Structure 1
Amino acid sequence: MRHIFKTSYTQDLTIWRHHGDLFWYGLLLLVLLLLPMLLGTFYIGELGAVFIFAIGGVGLMLLTGYTGLVNLGHAAFLGIGAYTNAILLTAGWPYVVTLPAAGLLAAIAGVAIGIPTLRMSGLYLAIATLAFGQIVATVLEKWDAVTHGFDGLAVPTPSILGVEIEGATGVYYAALAVLVFALWISANILRTPLGRAMVAIRDSEISAQSMGVNLKLYKTIAFAISAGITGLAGGLFAQYVNFLAPDSFDILLSVQFLTIVFVGGVGSLQGAILGAVFVRLLPQAIALVRDDLPGNIGHLPGLEPSLFGLILVLCILFEPGGIYGRWIKTKLWFQTAPLRRRAAFRRQKSYARSERVG
């Protein structure tokens, strides 16, 4: 079992806990860079989709997992980023401008929803964000002059320095680059006073406010950062599907993002990655076993959303730490052998936010 002996305050400011983290994450990145040479187009395309969902999951993790603000309209920011990127590409703008612009416009929309909902929390905030998602979906449907409504909007193939980013491999590498950037910027934000203020708001708004944390300011910033990162994912999503329709950004997609956060592990960037892998690959697993399920269960309508809801409820009830939390417990279980104690792995009592006033 590794014990970290800290000798200076600067060790708390580094992203890597020790050189072992740097080695293993570097090795993982190297493997991901080489995968397109080893796997077929279908698998590379699915991994690219996983990266895109992971970017959106990181954005929602900063808002829900680290700030404690529930967002049921997260798919709206993905849609804003997707349409912004597609429209600007159609107008002839370069890709190095359209993708950041997608994130910037989504961040502005995050501020627009963040400011009116500053006094809300819990269920009321969830309803307000759900309404915002429906408003954005309606705008995408009715603004025919810009979005083409239900006729759909074709997404042009972007290029950087004359190199076209097309096909599964192009989207894979673009999504991987943006995911690394999103993780890097998020990890750095969480080590700053801004990140600590966000966590303080999540744990107890009353305590955070008594310590001088400006709730309005930091909640608005959290909404903006979350929406901006998701807008980048939206720009990549437009490339992935190559054709945009407003019904792609519905409430089910927002629920999938919430599932990424809770199933992956609330309050961990690694959980956003693991949750995206689970959520994106679950439909593929269902498709593989659909014909083998007894009693014609596999062909029942609504099977996929029902499974998402069931898994989300079971995870909240029996494994609130998510996949990443279970991984940490499993790793600790092996590291403490043979001196482990059973009491160390019991679930601790959790309290509702209203009970954690102090």
Structure 2
Amino acid sequence: MRFVFRTRYEQDLRLWRHRGDLIAYGLLGIVLVLFPFVAGSYYVGEANLWLIYSVAALGLMIGIGFTGMVSLGHSAFLGIGAYAHAYFMQEGVPFLVSLPLGALLAGIMGVVVGRPTLRMHGIYLAIATLAFALITQEVMSKWSAVTGGFDGLPVAAPKFLSIQANEIYGGEWFAVGGVHVGWAELWDPSSLYFICLFVLAISALLAKNLLRSPTGRAFVAIRNSEISAQSMGIHLAQYKTTAFGISAFVTGLAGGLFAHQITHLAPDAFNIFLSIELLLICVVGGIGTIQGAMLGALFLIALRSFIPIARDGVTAWFGDAEMLSGIVRFVNAPGLEAGLFGLLLVLFIIFEPFGLYGRWLKVKTYFDLFPLYKKATFARQKSYVKTERLR
């Protein structure tokens, strides 16, 4: 067991608690970098979805986990970032400019939405953000000049300056001193994987630094108790609007990456079910933790891959049995996936409000204290998430 003794206030603001954390995350980074070289294209594509959902959930985590503002409208910010990025690239804006520009537009819309909803809490704020998501989806369907309407909007391949021609990718090349230089189109899953991994690493680092800053500590104070935060001189309107803007910006950044993952945008891709998926990721992973966003996204991607396999297995096992045909009809019924996600959300809120990351901390504590571990170690844990604490 490792004991961390703090003798200075600055030690509480470090990125790493101790050298063991730095080594563990370094090894994880090496594994993630080497993953595309040993995995097939299907698994790389699934990993891309995991990274994109992690970034989007990290954006939602800033609002719901750090500041305590429940939102069911983050699918709208994801869609705004995706459509804006695709439109800017279609107009000839470079990838490295259009991606943050689309995220900035999503952040501005987050400020616009967050400002008039400052007095709303809990279910009322969730309903307001849900209404914004429905309005945004309707705008995506009707604004054909920009979004393409129901026909959708094709997403151009990102281009980066390269010094060596490759037959796999397209692009225009020219020779400079015998060296091929040009803009190479990076469209394959492995190239997108490294872009998503870089964006996730930067987003996680910025979120960690945000929590260490006075602004992030003000967010946490507002989450725990708005009355106490206001009594300490924290301007609620200013910080809650800032949190909503930052949350929408990060989610919009994920939207730009999501556009390249699906390659063709349509309004149906950014429905309310996507917002529920993002909320499920945060609750299942662990509200208020950066690691929870990544663990929850991993759980969601694994569950979405497992459901079709389970359906095929149940159909093959019970398809010929007449008395068990009801089971086959049930597992193949439309809407089963949404119902299962809702059930998992309720079960985690009731039985494991700290999520998968909280469970990992409990297991780690058990082995650290064994055989002196007591069952009452986590007895004071509440059976509700932090965003629903008494104010």
**Alignment TM-score > 0.5, same fold:** yes
Counterpart of 2:295 in structure 1 is: 274
The 5 Å alignment of 1:73-112 reads 73-112=73-112
Deviations 1:109-142 (A, max 9, x none): 1001011101111111111100100111011000
How far does residue 355 in structure 1 lie from its aligned partner after superposition? Answer: 6.9
Counterpart of 1:247 in structure 2 is: 268
How far does residue 9 in structure 1 lie from its aligned partner after superposition? Answer: 2.1
Give yes or no for contact 2:65–2:387 (8 Å, CA) kept in 1: no
How far does residue 7 in structure 1 lie from its aligned partner after superposition? Answer: 2.5
Percent of pairs identical after alignment? 53
Larger deviation: 153-162 or 40-49? 153-162
- Tell me the secondary structure at the aligned position of residue 160 of structure 1: strand
Counterpart of 2:286 in structure 1 is: 265
TM-score by length of 1: 0.97
User: Residue 185 in 1 paired to residue 199 in 2?
Assistant: no
- Tell me the secondary structure at the aligned position of residue 195 of structure 1: helix
Counterpart-to-counterpart distance in 2, 1:239 and 1:354: 36
Between Structure 1 and Structure 2, whose CA radius of gyration is higher? 2
How far does residue 163 in structure 1 lie from its aligned partner after superposition? Answer: 3.5
Counterpart of 1:356 in structure 2 is: 390
How far does residue 313 in structure 1 lie from its aligned partner after superposition? Answer: 0.3
C-alpha distance 298-277 of structure 1, shift in aligned 2 (>3 A): same
The letter for the 2-side match of 1:46 is E
The letter for the 2-side match of 1:189 is L
How far does residue 347 in structure 1 lie from its aligned partner after superposition? Answer: 5.3
Counterpart of 2:59 in structure 1 is: 59
User: Residue 5 in 1 paired to residue 16 in 2?
Assistant: no
The letter for the 1-side match of 2:280 is T
How far does residue 354 in structure 1 lie from its aligned partner after superposition? Answer: 8.1
Structure 1: 5+ residue stretches without partners: none
The letter for the 1-side match of 2:155 is V
The letter for the 2-side match of 1:201 is I
- Tell me the secondary structure at the aligned position of residue 71 of structure 1: coil
Which among 310, 320, 325 is matched to residue 353 of structure 2? 320
C-alpha distance 236-314 of structure 1, shift in aligned 2 (>3 A): same
The letter for the 2-side match of 1:170 is S
Counterpart-to-counterpart distance in 1, 2:388 and 2:57: 26
Counterpart-to-counterpart distance in 1, 2:8 and 2:239: 29
How far does residue 279 in structure 1 lie from its aligned partner after superposition? Answer: 1.2
Aligned positions, number: 357
How far does residue 287 in structure 1 lie from its aligned partner after superposition? Answer: 1.0
The 5 Å alignment of 1:139-158 reads 139-158=139-158
How far does residue 353 in structure 1 lie from its aligned partner after superposition? Answer: 7.3
C-alpha distance 308-350 of structure 1, shift in aligned 2 (>3 A): closer
Which among 166, 171, 174 is matched to residue 187 of structure 2? 166
Counterpart-to-counterpart distance in 2, 1:249 and 1:329: 36
The letter for the 2-side match of 1:166 is W
Supply the RMSD in Å over aligned alpha carbons: 1.4
Counterpart of 1:16 in structure 2 is: 16
Counterpart of 1:329 in structure 2 is: 362
How far does residue 303 in structure 1 lie from its aligned partner after superposition? Answer: 0.9
C-alpha distance 200-241 of structure 1, shift in aligned 2 (>3 A): same
How far does residue 238 in structure 1 lie from its aligned partner after superposition? Answer: 0.4
How far does residue 348 in structure 1 lie from its aligned partner after superposition? Answer: 2.9
Which among 211, 214, 217 is matched to residue 232 of structure 2? 211
TM-score by length of 2: 0.89
User: Residue 344 in 1 paired to residue 365 in 2?
Assistant: no
Give yes or no for contact 1:75–1:253 (8 Å, CA) kept in 2: yes
- Tell me the secondary structure at the aligned position of residue 7 of structure 1: coil
The letter for the 1-side match of 2:349 is I
Give yes or no for contact 1:291–1:298 (8 Å, CA) kept in 2: no
Deviations 1:285-320 (A, max 9, x none): 001111222520321111100110000000001111
Structure 2: 5+ residue stretches without partners: 162-182, 319-326
Counterpart-to-counterpart distance in 2, 1:332 and 1:9: 25
The letter for the 1-side match of 2:89 is L
Counterpart-to-counterpart distance in 1, 2:289 and 2:362: 14
Counterpart-to-counterpart distance in 2, 1:262 and 1:354: 13
